[in-house]
C-alpha cells in the first residue's frame, strides 16, 4: 500500500458519534486517533472552525493522509495519544469536542507489510508507530516462556494453560520469518475443533497490545481528558475488545460516581454499540461508544 493511495476506510459508529458529540460551527476539535480521517473529516465539516483543531496519530501512513488538512489550519501531531494529550495540556490547550477511537485500524490490518494480521502475510512487525524499536519479532526473540504466557493470557484472554502451551510452542520454534508461519504453527498444534475464529487470533491480539503498550496508554490518558475539555465540552471514546472497554467503562463509572465532585457527566448512560451497523464493516460489530460532557 502506498501513502498516496491509502485503502478505503469506513469509520465505525459515525452517525452515533456525530449525534452524541454534536459538533457545532465555531467549536474546536481534538481527534487523538485520527487515522485516515473518517470521523475527523465529518466533524470538521460541522465545526467550520478548522484553525485550532488538532489531529493526532502515531502511524506515518495516517499522518501522510491527514496532511491535506494542514492547509486549512489544522495541526497534525505524529505521536501516540498519551504524549499528545500531555503536550497539549502543557500548552494550556482545551477543546469543545474530543474523540478517541481505540485499537488497530482496518487499513493497518489490511497492510501485509505491517504484520498485524495473518490474513495478509508479512513480517512480524505490529508497530503502530514504525519509529519505535520493539516489533513483535523482537518481543518473541527476547522473552521467556513465562513472560510470553502471561502476555497471551492477559492480553489475548486465553486460558492460562493454553497460553502456556502456545508460549512454549513459540519459544521452541523461534525465530519466525512471517505472520503466516506463526499462525500456521499455532493452528497446526491447536487442540480440538475451531470454527470462525482462527486459533492464532488471540495470540496476535496479545502480541499487538504488548508491542504498542495499548492498555497502558489508555489507562494513563483517560484521567487527562477532563483537563483538555472546555466547560460544556464533550468527549467520546470508542472501544472494541473487552480489555479496552473495561478500562473505559471503569473510568466513566468512577467519574459518574463522584457526584458533585465529578468533572464529567454522562451523555450516554449505556454504551452505543455497533451491532446493528453496516454488515460490510465487521469491525463495527464489537464497537462501543461512550460519551460524556465536562461539567
- Annotated binding residues: 37-39, 57, 81, 101, 108
SS3 (DSSP) at 193: coil
For residues 40 and 101, the answer to whether their CB atoms sit within 8 Å is no
For residues 79 and 56, the answer to whether their CB atoms sit within 8 Å is yes
Strand bridging mode 29-31 / 54-57: parallel
Over the Cα atoms of the chain, what is R_g?
20
Q: What Å distances lie between residue 67 and 20, 70, 180, CA to CA?
A: 27, 5, 33
Count of CB atoms within 10 A of residue 217's CB?
A: 19
Please confirm whether the linkage preceding 194 is cis (ω < 30° from 0).
no
SS3 (DSSP) at 95: strand
Residue ranges in 157-200 assigned as alpha helix (H): 160-173, 179-188
* Residue numbering of the annotated binding site for S-adenosyl-L-methionine: 37-39, 57, 81, 101, 108
> Cβ contacts of residue 10 below 8 Å, gap of 6+?
38, 106, 278, 280, 281, 283, 284
List b or e across 257-280, with b for residues whose CB sees 16 or more CB atoms inside 10 angstroms: eeeeeebbeebeeebbebeebeee
C-alpha cell of residue 286:
464489537
Amino acid at each position: 500500500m502506498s501513502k498516496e493511495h491509502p485503502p478505503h476506510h469506513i469509520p465505525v459508529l459515525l452517525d452515533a458519534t456525530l449525534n452524541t458529540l454534536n459538533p457545532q460551527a465555531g467549536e474546536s476539535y481534538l481527534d487523538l486517533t485520527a487515522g485516515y480521517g473518517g470521523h475527523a473529516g465529518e466533524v470538521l465539516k460541522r465545526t467550520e472552525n478548522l484553525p485550532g483543531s488538532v489531529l493526532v496519530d502515531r502511524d506515518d501512513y495516517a499522518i501522510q493522509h491527514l496532511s491535506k488538512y494542514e492547509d486549512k489550519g489544522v495541526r497534525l501531531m505524529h505521536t501516540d495519544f498519551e504524549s499528545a494529550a500531555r503536550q497539549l495540556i502543557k500548552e494550556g490547550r482545551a477543546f469543545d469536542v474530543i474523540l478517541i477511537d481505540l485499537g488497530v485500524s482496518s487499513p493497518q490490518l489490511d497492510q501485509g507489510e505491517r504484520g498485524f494480521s495473518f490474513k495478509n502475510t508479512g513480517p512480524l512487525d505490529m508497530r503502530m508507530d514504525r519509529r519505535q524499536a520493539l516489533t513483535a519479532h523482537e518481543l518473541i526473540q527476547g522473552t521467556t516462556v513465562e513472560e510470553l504466557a502471561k502476555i497471551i493470557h492477559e492480553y489475548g484472554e486465553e486460558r492460562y494453560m493454553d497460553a502456556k502451551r502456545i508460549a512454549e510452542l513459540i519459544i521452541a520454534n523461534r525465530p519466525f520469518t512471517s505472520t503466516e508461519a506463526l499462525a500456521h504453527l499455532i493452528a497446526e498444534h491447536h487442540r480440538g475443533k475451531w470454527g470462525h475464529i482462527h486459533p492464532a487470533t488471540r495470540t496476535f491480539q496479545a502480541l499487538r497490545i504488548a508491542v504498542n503498550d495499548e492498555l497502558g496508554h489508555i489507562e494513563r490518558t483517560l484521567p487527562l481528558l477532563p483537563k483538555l475539555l472546555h466547560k460544556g465540552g464533550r468527549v467520546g471514546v470508542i472501544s472494541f475488545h473487552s480489555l479496552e472497554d473495561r478500562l473505559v467503562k471503569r473510568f466513566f463509572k468512577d467519574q459518574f460516581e463522584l457526584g458533585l465532585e465529578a468533572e464529567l457527566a454522562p451523555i450516554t448512560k449505556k454504551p452505543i454499540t455497533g451491532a446493528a451497523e453496516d454488515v460490510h464493516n465487521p469491525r463495527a460489530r464489537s464497537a462501543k461508544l461512550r460519551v460524556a460532557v465536562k461539567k
